[in-house]
Structure 1
């Protein structure tokens, strides 16, 4: 079976690997229809920070078709279209006991704790799979997870109805959050994105505020400390900033201004039930989402695509791999 494997920092290879031949009772074998490259995949490629072992097949944003069921699987049938809930929780810590799985003390992810979706097939546990409408294209179904993360950010932000929201970063999460803020939640949006083509693509889909305006609510989807400090400097006193960007290096944040202006900084970690909720938004947003993703890419394209994404050399918001496309 063909797959991409991460061997270490800046080292990802496409090769043939073996698949488990026998399923555990609650496991499901899947043919991977599409898998997205996430910012956390790139973070692991650059730092190796969250990998439990190497080499490892990455890829947690995936949609697939059920092709084999373990003996005790009750909720799925052969041929079902599914997406992965990629969270891997311990089930024992206080957060898990309260079913706050995204706060699990040992939280890990598919593609880090065990093999992910950058392969022709993958085996996952039944409880990690959510059914999705079969009439949606694979490259729309695969967006349920980043859309769920974006929805989590919006919920954490708690913006007052109708208030302007400033979004820093027009990549996947920032762009999807901006789209949902305007189309679903009816907020005016101001967006900053240095990649002009990306900005233009988003501007074509939304009525973005063109002139700088005062703002009380903001989202940072960059993870860049200097951008966060700029938001802290510009936001109105008493404002609220949702942080979802992943920094590759930690530098100082202007805590003095946070204190003096009574700014609330709120972290946004993956999602709780938002991925399941986001599935309902895929169909109404599908035409706009389609315009923000890459042309279909194959497994062989992964090393080159990782390099381009790390260099910021792409104009789309989401790279989508079709592992069974040859």
Structure 2
């Protein structure tokens, strides 16, 4: 059945609550008209939306924002409410998660399907409105179907878990390897979980937030800090990266996934002298699908790491608490 007929008048008559970013440090909860849906889009009821470190980075710096105001939130689990006339393969009631990437489809990287390396790469919640709202609209190529019995609070973790899986894949790490993860936030913590439960590595964790370190230690048998051959930099702090370069065994490999807020001094000679490989990790290639396949076996542990849901009205205050480092949880999420 074509549900797009009469959409314009229906949308004009109804409103929704949404969180809007107006500029650096300016986040407000507003009442808006429901978003207009094009013929090549899906209308989603947002069931869960995770708060990501990049959301906080944009709030602090405005670096990647392409339009203002904008509704943030790229970690989205939703239910299809309405299907555009030109869309095939979806129907109302389908449960989906968002693929956070927005790619051009034309550059050399896109032509070889390396969409995470698109020269014009953007993200949901930055170049278009995201999931911190009661409803959102996305194109069908920007979502993945998930089982209806997978809890939204777990399904929404497929996006950050995909980022973490990309880190593990980029490390090209053998089973049993000694790995130090610097930073026990969302991505660092999920990387540590994957390294232990899936890659079967010996995991050391460097995380100054004692409550968060304890939380991760409840589900991962962390090793005492000692020698390590691989490392993950998930803090975005230059001094931490320098320490990893200095302490890793010669010839080691370090995966970079943390977002650095400032340019800083770094001793590149140590990379040369010790033949250290630095490998960048940008979002994911096809790892979100891998993450979805892993969610059922990791669901109980992931639930342990996830905060109780918050309402849209609580998002601005939660941003401030997360930036201050006052959360013991690895993932805060919104239930509109």
User: How high is the TM-score relative to the length of structure 1?
Assistant: 0.97
Q: Say whether residues 1:19 and 2:34 are aligned partners.
A: yes
How much has 1:72 moved relative to structure 2?
A: 1.8
Structure 2 residue aligned with 1:172, among 186, 199, 218?
Answer: 186
Q: Which runs of 4+ in 1 moved over 2 A?
A: none
Structure 2 residue aligned with 1:87, among 101, 117, 139?
Answer: 101
Structure 1 residue aligned with 2:199, among 172, 185, 194?
Answer: 185
Instruction: Give 5+ residue unaligned stretches, structure 1.
Output: none
Distance 2:219 2:35 in 1: 44
Distance 2:252 2:23 in 1: 40
Distance 1:127 1:159 in 2: 31
Give the paired residue count. Answer: 321
Aligned 8 A contact 1:44 1:51 in 2: yes
Distance 1:246 1:19 in 2: 33
The answer to which of 147-156 and 73-82 deviates more is 73-82
1:4 alignment partner in structure 2: 19
Structure 2 residue aligned with 1:64, among 78, 83, 89?
Answer: 78
Distance 2:191 2:103 in 1: 26
2:10 alignment partner in structure 1: none
User: How high is the TM-score relative to the length of structure 2?
Assistant: 0.94
How much has 1:17 moved relative to structure 2?
A: 1.1
How much has 1:20 moved relative to structure 2?
A: 3.1
Instruction: Please list, as runs of the form range in 1=range in 2, the aligned pairs for 1:193-272 lying within 5 A after superposition.
Output: 193-210=207-224, 212-272=225-285
1:41 alignment partner in structure 2: 55
Aligned 8 A contact 1:165 1:217 in 2: yes
Q: Say whether residues 1:298 and 2:315 are aligned partners.
A: no
1:76 alignment partner in structure 2: 90
Q: Secondary structure at the match of 2:305?
A: coil
Q: Secondary structure at the match of 2:86?
A: coil
Structure 1 residue aligned with 2:300, among 287, 290, 296?
Answer: 287
